[in-house]
Structure 1
Amino acid sequence: MSIRDYLKDRTLFLLINFILFIIVFLIMSLININSKIVLLVFCIWFFPVFSYIIVEFIKQKNLYVELNNQMENLDKKYLLSEIMKEPEFIEGKFIYDLLKQANKDMHEHVKIYRDMEHEYREYIETWVHEIKTPIASARLMIENNQNEITKNINFELKKIEEYIEQVLYYSRSNNVSKDYLIKEVSLASLVRNVVKKNSRDFISKRISVDIDAIEGIVYSDVKWLEFILNQVIGNAIKYTREGNGMVKIFTTHNENNIVLTIEDNGIGIIEKDINRVFEKGFTGENGRKFGKSTGIGLYLCRKLAKQLGLGLTLTSITGEGTKVSIIFPLGKVNLLH
């Protein structure tokens, strides 16, 4: 706020005072009052007026500068009313009370929507656990009636389970910190478990897998890592050609991190889609060709990796394949191994 803007806002107040003084001046001139007395009256009149304007300007400017600094340093701007000091002038007090009331009302509305989201997430998690019962029963029936048809049904059930798992992780993705357990994880064991989980798909599409060059210990949550890795390997299988497909999984040890890379020789991703593959709902050219992509898998992987403190990168060449890297930063604990 500049002095010019402030004076412009007080134009009416100053104009009234000048008009009144001119009227008084004219009256004093008519009755032949000495000019020195007129000057004295002018000083007596306008000294308090200008003093008041200057003092008010300083108070308001100090308040606005302080508020502006606080706003710039705040990550959550809506908390301004929680940390601002109550102003000393009446207009500032009024604005302060309004901001407090607005902030209180906002928190009440946020609580309503937070409760609604919590109830919805609880319902989704309950639904996921409930639906596992009929799936388990269906698997039992398949085991007792083995034939080509039930094998195909079992294959489709696996897909259903993967989509259900994706729903569960999506519902929890905003609250990872409440659900993970950090412990020592062997990358070799982690990869073997996920590859075994997808073994039927590797065999059915006659895709070979190389997991010999994996070593290293990291500290993270096994359950979340398995989900991320399963999504990446699932994509590698989906977009790799049958018969001559190859998925290679290996680790690279750097000074500050361990990189777990999943590389395939599939159809690859066109250049204009590469920068968007982690966007929510983005399916791209490959998704339209294959028709079964939801655009959620890689989005979830990036989101969960970020909350676990991991890096996730993707490079690809059309017609040659795709390479996805999960980057595990090395902390003091990791460096001991």
Structure 2
Amino acid sequence: MANKQRTWSLWLNQWPMVVGYGLALALLGGLLKLYALPTVLFWDSLRYTWLLLGLAIFGRHQVQKQQLKRLDIALKTGQVLPEDSLELVLRQYTQVFNQLQAKRLTYQRQAQQQVNAHQDYVMLWSHEIKTPLTALNLLAENDPTIDSSAVQQQVVLIQNQLDLLLNYERLANFNHDLAFKWIDLTNLVTPIIQEYAVFFVDKRLKPVLALPKLQVLTDAKWLRFMIQQVVFNAVKYANPGGTITLKWQADQLLIQDQGIGIAASDLPRVFEPGFTGSNGRQHQAATGMGLYMAQQVSHQLGLGLTITSQVGQGTQVAITFTKDQVRLGS
């Protein structure tokens, strides 16, 4: 049905030639009458030119039909059109089409890459969630009296991975999920330390909070997510018996650990999605998405996020606020 409608439309599209032919005959008839010439000239002109008109219309119809066919194929296959038309305007249209086609194909490739990356990350997270679940099953099978600390650690690991996955999905509509207000930084940080208390106890880590009385203007939920990821990494890679310090200095929240540190070759890539580095490969418990997502959030909140580290000495993460975002002594 669509093909028949298109064919009919193509025939109707030839009306300029018919109108032009009619106007030419009308002009000829007028001139013959004006100069009192025999009308047989008019009828002879009509008799000898209507076939040429029909052939011209048919030829133009076939050319346009082929052009539309090539356009359909180009749209379906992603090809570009040859710029071989004799008509200047049509060549210009073809050039514009090819430019738009190239942009469309680039967008499609990028979109497909994003879909593939999204699927890969979801599969990676599902694997990471299965790991602590498997550990819980082994604990239950091997010992009827399961160590509650071990269970709590695995549960926290599961919760952390689920939070990562859910927040990764929310990043797509990030701007619709922001509510900026003044929040007390100490009240925000303290529950995070308590959340990971089981790891602090297990590794004999000492949390040190050195925060003055202050408020920051930001979105509480997303800032909490950022700090969670940084503190979780600090706990995960900390050496047993060390300290994890959260302090305020020059409009910055500094989170310091005395852990294994980050190799100099890995440091420039820690914010890349999926990058785990040598630490992640050694511990086999990293998706490489926590710091990437934390940096994405920092951009949206107007914050800075930087990392300095030395192997064997520890890591410092700095979350930088602007002066307008800080209110001391409140």
TM-score of the superposition, structure 1-length normalised? 0.57
Q: Which amino acid aligns with 2:168?
A: Y
Partners of 2:171 and 2:293 lie apart in 1 by 7
1:305 equivalent in structure 2: 298
| 1:207 CA displacement | 0.1
- The equivalences for 1:147-226 within 5 A come to 148-149=146-147, 151-226=149-224
> Identity rate of aligned residues, in percent?
31
Partners of 2:256 and 2:326 lie apart in 1 by 28
| 1:212 CA displacement | 2.9
2:248 equivalent in structure 1: 251
Match of 1:264 among 257, 269, 273: 257
2:261 touches 2:310 (CA, 8 Å); kept in 1?
yes
1:215 touches 1:251 (CA, 8 Å); kept in 2?
no
Partners of 1:216 and 1:336 lie apart in 2 by 5
Match of 1:281 among 274, 278, 281: 274
- The equivalences for 1:231-242 within 5 A come to 231-242=229-240
Partners of 1:96 and 1:229 lie apart in 2 by 53
Provide closer, same or farther for how the CA distance between residues 107 and 275 of structure 1 changes in structure 2, counting only shifts above 3 A: closer
| 1:237 CA displacement | 0.6
| 1:91 CA displacement | 3.0
Partners of 2:255 and 2:215 lie apart in 1 by 17
Q: Which amino acid aligns with 2:231?
A: I
| 1:179 CA displacement | 1.1
2:253 touches 2:318 (CA, 8 Å); kept in 1?
yes
For the pair 1:327 / 2:320, whether they are aligned, the reply is yes
Q: Aligned with 1:305: secondary structure?
A: helix
Q: Deviations over 1:29-76 (max 9, x none)?
A: xxxxxxxxxxxxxxxxxxxxxxxxxxxxxxxxxxxxxxxxxxxxxxxx
Partners of 2:230 and 2:94 lie apart in 1 by 52
| 1:206 CA displacement | 0.7
Q: Which amino acid aligns with 2:249?
A: T
- RMSD over aligned CA atoms reads 3.7
Q: Aligned with 1:315: secondary structure?
A: strand
Q: Aligned with 1:295: secondary structure?
A: coil
Runs of 4+ in structure 1 over 6 Å off? 104-111
Partners of 1:251 and 1:147 lie apart in 2 by 43
Partners of 1:241 and 1:333 lie apart in 2 by 33
TM-score of the superposition, structure 2-length normalised? 0.58
2:222 touches 2:297 (CA, 8 Å); kept in 1?
yes
| 1:104 CA displacement | 9.1
Q: Deviations over 1:220-239 (max 9, x none)?
A: 11111111101100111111
Q: Aligned with 1:196: secondary structure?
A: helix
Partners of 1:215 and 1:309 lie apart in 2 by 22
In structure 2, the gaps of 5 or more residues are: 1-86
Q: Which amino acid aligns with 2:225?
A: F
Q: Aligned with 1:155: secondary structure?
A: helix
Q: Which amino acid aligns with 1:311?
A: G
Q: Aligned with 2:249: secondary structure?
A: strand
Q: Deviations over 1:257-315 (max 9, x none)?
A: x2000001111112111111111111112112212121111111111111211100000
1:232 touches 1:298 (CA, 8 Å); kept in 2?
yes
Provide closer, same or farther for how the CA distance between residues 147 and 328 of structure 1 changes in structure 2, counting only shifts above 3 A: farther
For the pair 1:291 / 2:289, whether they are aligned, the reply is no
1:266 touches 1:322 (CA, 8 Å); kept in 2?
yes
